[in-house]
Amino acid sequence: MTNLSTGKFRRQGAKGKKGYHHGDLRRALIDSALRLARRGGAADVTLRAIARETGVTHMAAYHHFRDREDLLAAVAEEGYGHLEAALRRRVDAAGKSARAQLVAAGVAYVVFAASRPGEFRVMFSADASSLEGRRTLDEARASAYAVLRAAIDRCQAEGLLPEATAAETNALAAWSLVHGLAMLVLDRAVLGPRPARRQVEALALEVIRGSGWRASI
């Protein structure tokens, strides 16, 4: 039940248990939405479902998300943050070689998609229903993309990619390559159902190194 005077939301059927502060509830609802997306994909992520998963009334969820599109956009924004973190970890671990960093970013992208298929699909299908929601979603997407773009810029600066080709074109080509491979893995066109992480990594590495960039990367 909701206590508007205190800004707290009490869990259903949990008398005596701790209620949620307003900001804490939004965080809990997003976490519930991420769990549902990872288990069943976007179709399972609804306001009623996340309220039930969190243990609050569905009206409590509407205090934080104006509609389902707004909710999915919040999930997608979180997803891009997770993707950015995964890319940065792998790039940082690759050392100072621009070539190794670019390959690492590409492999990390495909591995992320394979390990979080439901979340990944929501990231590329969500569209916020509010201008503010679109702005923050676009910023999260751009921040994740910037990791790949930075790796491309370093490769181009070191002469590993043709200078005649714009860096943005090279970055889009790189993104297209790894995103296409990621979708093939998710759609089971390659590797089959539930591939092991090492299989995904090996395939991504083979495809990236064997692509049209072979002479450079």
Q: What's the whole-number mean pLDDT along residues 143-151? A: 95
pLDDT of residue 9: 42
In terms of domains, do 110 and 196 share one?
A: yes
- Full-model pTM: 0.84
Residue 216 lies in a domain: no
CB hemisphere CA count around 1 (13 angstroms): 6
pLDDT of residue 213: 53
E strand or H helix at 16, and its extent? none
pLDDT of residue 205: 92
In terms of domains, do 10 and 48 share one?
A: yes
Q: What is the rounded distance in angstroms from the CA atom of residue 69 to the CA atom of residue 35?
A: 17
pLDDT of residue 17: 39
Q: Mean pLDDT score of the chain, rounded to an integer?
A: 85
CB hemisphere CA count around 208 (13 angstroms): 25
Tens digits of residue pLDDT in 169-207: 888 999 999 999 999 999 999 988 888 899 999 999 999
Q: What is the tally of structural domains in the chain?
A: 2
Which of 21, 45, 62 is where one domain is finished?
62
In terms of domains, do 26 and 102 share one?
A: no
Range of the domain at 31: 2-62
Tens digits of residue pLDDT in 73-96: 999 999 999 999 999 999 999 999
In terms of domains, do 37 and 92 share one?
A: no
